[in-house]
A = this chain, B = another copy of it.
Amino acid sequence: MLLVFDINETLLDLAPLDDVLGGTEARTRWFDLLIHTALVVTASDRYQDFAQLAGACARTITPEVDVPKLAETLRSLPPHPDVVPALDELRDQGHRLVALGNSPQAVIEAQLADLGFDALYSAEAAGALKPSPAAYALVEHDGEPPVMVAAHDWDIAGAQAAGLRTAFVTRDGRRPLPAHPSPEWTVTDLAEWARSLRTA
C-alpha cells in the first residue's frame, strides 16, 4: 500500500511547544485556532502560508510569544513513541511511506529528516491547504488509492472527499467528523496497527 502520513500531532508530539506558548492549555487553544484559521482560508478559496498562520495564531493566544523560538521548536518536534517502530514495521512489510503536510516544504523536510520517508509533500506546492482536494492530488500513485493516516477529523474527511482510503489515529481522544463515513481503520497506536496489517 501507499501510506500518506499527516505530520503534526499524527507523527510528531506537540508537547515541547507548551513551554513556548505558556502551558498545555494555551498550546491546545493555539493549535485549535491555527486549524480553524487554515480551514477558513481554504474554504474561502484562498491560500496562506501555514507557518505564518502558526505565528499569527500564537500571538493571538500568547501576545508575548517568542515567534522565532516557536518556529525552531516546530522544526524539531520528537516523534510519538509508537511512530518509529510503526514506520520500521510498515517498511519491512513492503509498504511505501510518504508524508503530506500543510507546512511549507522546508519545514516538513526539517521535521521529518530522520524518519526515512520515500517522499515529502507540502500543500504549498498545490497553493491550497488540506483539506482541499488539490493538496491530496499532489501525492503520486499508480491508480490504487493511497491510505491517509491522520489524527485529525478534517484531514480524514478531506482525504475521503478526495477518494483516498483512511486510517484515523485517536491521539488525545480525538474523534472523526460528524455526518461522515467511518474511517477504514480507527487506531490508538500506530505500531500495533502496523503489526496487525502483517497478520491481516
User: Which A residues are within 8 Å of any B CB, using their own CB?
Assistant: 33, 36-37, 39-46, 48, 52-53, 56-57, 59-60, 129, 131-133, 153-154, 157-158, 161-162, 175, 177-179
Residues of B within 8 A of A60 (CB): 175, 178
**Chain B nearest CB, measured from A47 CB (Å):** 11
Supposing A45-B133, A178-B56 touch, asked if A39 and B40 sit within 8 A by C-beta, the answer is yes
Supposing A37-B177, A53-B178 touch, asked if A131 and B161 sit within 8 A by C-beta, the answer is no
Residue from A52, A154, A162 whose CB has the most chain B CB atoms within 10 Å: A154
CB pair A40–B132 under 8 Å, yes or no, is no
CB pair B37–A39 under 8 Å, yes or no, is no
Residue from A33, A37, A43 whose CB has the most chain B CB atoms within 10 Å: A43
In angstroms, Cα B131 to Cα A60, docked, is 22
Contact sample, A vs B, 15 pairs, CB 8 Å cutoff? A36-B154, A36-B177, A37-B177, A37-B179, A39-B43, A40-B131, A43-B131, A44-B132, A45-B132, A45-B161, A48-B179, A53-B179, A56-B179, A57-B179, A60-B178
Number of identical monomers bound together in the oligomeric complex: 2
In angstroms, Cα B133 to Cα A6, docked, is 28
Residues of B within 8 A of A131 (CB): 40, 43-44
- New contact pairs (10) apart from A33-B178, A40-B153, A45-B133, CB-CB < 8 Å: A36-B153, A37-B179, A40-B157, A41-B157, A42-B43, A43-B129, A45-B161, A46-B161, A56-B179, A60-B178
Nearest-neighbor residue (CB-CB) of A159 within chain B: B44
Nearest-neighbor residue (CB-CB) of A133 within chain B: B45
CB pair B178–A44 under 8 Å, yes or no, is no
In angstroms, Cα B48 to Cα A53, docked, is 27
